[in-house]
Amino acid sequence: MITVATANRCARTFSYKDVKTCPIVAPFTPPCPPVLKLSAPVYNGRMMNYRVSVGMECHAELLTASKMFCSCANAFGGEPNTRTCPVCLGLPGTLPVFNAVAVELVVKTALALHCDISMRTIFHRKNYFYPDLPKGYQVSQYGDTPIGTNGYVDIEKADGTTKRIRITRVHLEEDTGKSIHSDGLGYSVMDYNRAGVPLMEIVTDFPPDVESAEEARLYAETLRGILLYVGASDGRMEQGSLRVEPNPSVRKEGTEAFGVKTELKNLNSFRAVQLGIEYEAKRQIAQIEAGETVLQATYGWDAEKGVTVLQRVKETEQEYRYFPEPDLIPIEFAPEYIETMRASLPELALDKKNRFVSEYALPVADAATLVSDKATADFYERAVSAGGDPKAVANWILGELTRLASGAKIAIAGGKVSPETLAELTRTVADGTITTTIAKRVLEEMWTTGETATAVIDRLGLRVAGADAVAEMVAAVVAAHPDIVAKIKGGNEKVIAFLKGQVMKEAKGQARPDDIDRLLKDAIDKA
């Protein structure tokens, strides 16, 4: 939500008369901009004496076809105000109707986050004046019956330990419109395409379990993974469809009371989440060390400068005058509905990773990379079930296929190599039809043409050379280098590598290294 700075302070200076006569929608241009005190220089000393606590608020736009309460399309981009209707413009006489899929996605997410589900859930109006929603209020869920309560996310730290981050609520609300930039116009211009898009809010519990910038990043990454697996969100932080808003505070080691927290915005990558919190914690510590007080305020992360910038000071707690939304009837869930939702949940990333390690004997790091994208994890399992060697398939996906896919700027699963043909490729290597070196070339060809591995091998004649052919090549190389052979016979075994290299060059990768070793040894003995 966007709020006019110091609106509370300024409100009293306007008279009702202004409201009626103002040529624009509402009258207030705050006449008293806040006097902001620039903070002390950032603390660069030890942070050892301070503890950091971070409350995490995340908003995710839900992956629905239509908006929360109307049939306008839920999409990104496009010309301003081309996805609006009487409902999302808040015109009189309209009534909101819940989007079933939006409700379903929040229920699924809440279940994936191990929440209790409120079997009867109600919606509220959050009233405020900033015109990012034309109705003058946002439909949200307040109080103790949001769709999900008391959940958790387990994060896995760099040292391999896991930590449980408790979640206090998962609720459903609607997104707001955006102001189109209009510097120098003297007014703002609103685009309501995003107004009414279903939005899910996920809030961690208090006192916060997240106690460092790194844990905050891990939490955000894990949560995003869950949202992608559930299919609730596309997780695009750079487009703002997933918005991570941490509330960091610091306190001296040994003190009970939590410090004043600030709210961080504009974090549009995981890196920004970590760097932003690190910076903000240091800035707060610097203020405390300088004898100042940390103000309850919103700071924006400036990724280019690597600093947090004060956006607005919260002088008083905002008063949103929440009340139950009279236009919306409570939602009651049948126990069978919840069980259907629970049964439809996919295996989540952390469980999948552990299973890949135990079932396919993959290294933890490889398994973690594979499961970080559900489509890639599914691609992997399909290749393995098509008869691919688990370790080899993982190596091809994490190596060559990742390289080819990122070069083409597409997902692995979106390319022309199918899980079945990748499995076939690993089999041709395993049964000695081709060498690993040749397999790389075959895969590149498969990536370009979409052929099967065997088709490429046959078309380009890439089968491993038979022992006779390799023996011929070896004989020719030995005959061409009598001086080297003499050196080897004289006891300098190391130079055999040169002869081996010559044979490999001749074979263009189509000879098996152990064949060359054996035949070369024979040929030298006979020479």
Partner 1 sequence: MTTVAPEDVRAVGALARIALTDTELDRLTHQMNDLLAQFDRLGELDTGNIPAMSHAVPVVARLREDVARPSLPRDVALSGGSQTDPWLGGFIVPQVLAE
Q: Rule CB under 5 A: which residues touch Zn ion?
A: 70, 72, 85, 87-88
CB of residue 276 to partner 1, shortest distance in Å: 17
Q: Which of 32, 189, 361, 430 binds partner 1 (CB under 8 A)?
A: 189
Nearest-10 Cα torsion for 207, 213, 218, 221: 100
Q: Decide whether 51 or 126 has the Cβ nearer to partner 1.
A: 126
CA–CA distances in Å: residue 471 to residues 125, 479, 506: 83, 12, 12
Buried b (16+ CB within 10 A) or exposed e, 431-445: eebbbeebbbbbbeb
Judged by phi (left if over 0) then psi (alpha if -120 to 50, else beta), residue 461 lies in left
CB of residue 73 to Zn ion, shortest distance in Å: 9
CB of residue 64 to Zn ion, shortest distance in Å: 13
Task: Report the distance separating Cα 76 and Cα 144, nearest Å.
Answer: 32
Going across the sheet that includes 124-127, the strands are 137-140, 124-127, 323-324
Q: Decide whether 88 or 220 has the Cβ nearer to Zn ion.
A: 88
Q: Cβ distance 297 to 310 under 8 Å?
A: yes
- Binding-residue total with partner 1 (CB under 8 A): 74
Give the footprint of partner 1 on residues 164-183 (CB under 8 A).
Answer: 179-180, 182
The contacts of residue 84 (CB under 8 Å, 6+ apart) are 72, 192, 193, 195
Q: Decide whether 198 or 419 has the Cβ nearer to partner 1.
A: 198
Q: Decide whether 72 or 170 has the Cβ nearer to Zn ion.
A: 72
CB of residue 194 to Zn ion, shortest distance in Å: 11
What is the contact mask toward partner 1 in residues 390 to 429, using x (rule: CB under 8 A)?
A: ----------------------------------------
Q: Which of 45, 330, 387, 414 binds partner 1 (CB under 8 A)?
A: 330
The reply to whether 64 sits near partner 1 by the rule CB under 8 A is yes
Residue 98 binding target from partner 1, Zn ion, none, CB below 5 to 8 Å by type: partner 1
The reply to whether 268 sits near partner 1 by the rule CB under 8 A is no
The reply to whether 321 sits near partner 1 by the rule CB under 8 A is yes
Q: Cβ distance 87 to 69 under 8 Å?
A: yes
Task: Report the distance separating Cα 168 and Cα 175, nearest Å.
Answer: 21
Q: Decide whether 191 or 221 has the Cβ nearer to partner 1.
A: 191
Residue 521 binding target from partner 1, Zn ion, none, CB below 5 to 8 Å by type: none
Q: Decide whether 24 or 479 has the Cβ nearer to partner 1.
A: 24
For residue 340, what is the enclosing H or E element?
A: helix 335-343
- Please measure the distance between the N-terminal and C-terminal CA atoms of the chain and give it in whole angstroms: 85
**CA quadruple 371, 375, 379, 385: dihedral sign:** positive
The reply to whether 94 sits near partner 1 by the rule CB under 8 A is no
Q: Decide whether 222 or 241 has the Cβ nearer to partner 1.
A: 241
Q: Which stretch binds partner 1 (CB under 8 A): 165-173, 278-286, 318-326, 475-483?
A: 318-326
The reply to whether 81 sits near partner 1 by the rule CB under 8 A is yes
Q: Cβ distance 148 to 117 under 8 Å?
A: yes
Give the footprint of partner 1 on residues 2-31 (CB under 8 A).
Answer: 2-5, 8, 11-16, 19, 23-30
Residue 287 binding target from partner 1, Zn ion, none, CB below 5 to 8 Å by type: none
Q: Which of 31, 32, 91, 162 binds partner 1 (CB under 8 A)?
A: 91
The contacts of residue 36 (CB under 8 Å, 6+ apart) are 310, 313
- DSSP class of residue 25 equals S
Give the footprint of partner 1 on residues 121-150 (CB under 8 A).
Answer: 122, 129-131, 134
Tokens describing residue 105: 């996605």
Q: Decide whether 67 or 126 has the Cβ nearer to Zn ion.
A: 67
The reply to whether 324 sits near partner 1 by the rule CB under 8 A is yes
Q: Cβ distance 367 to 357 under 8 Å?
A: yes
**Which of these, 174, 216, 209, 226, lies nearest to 66 by C-alpha position?**
174
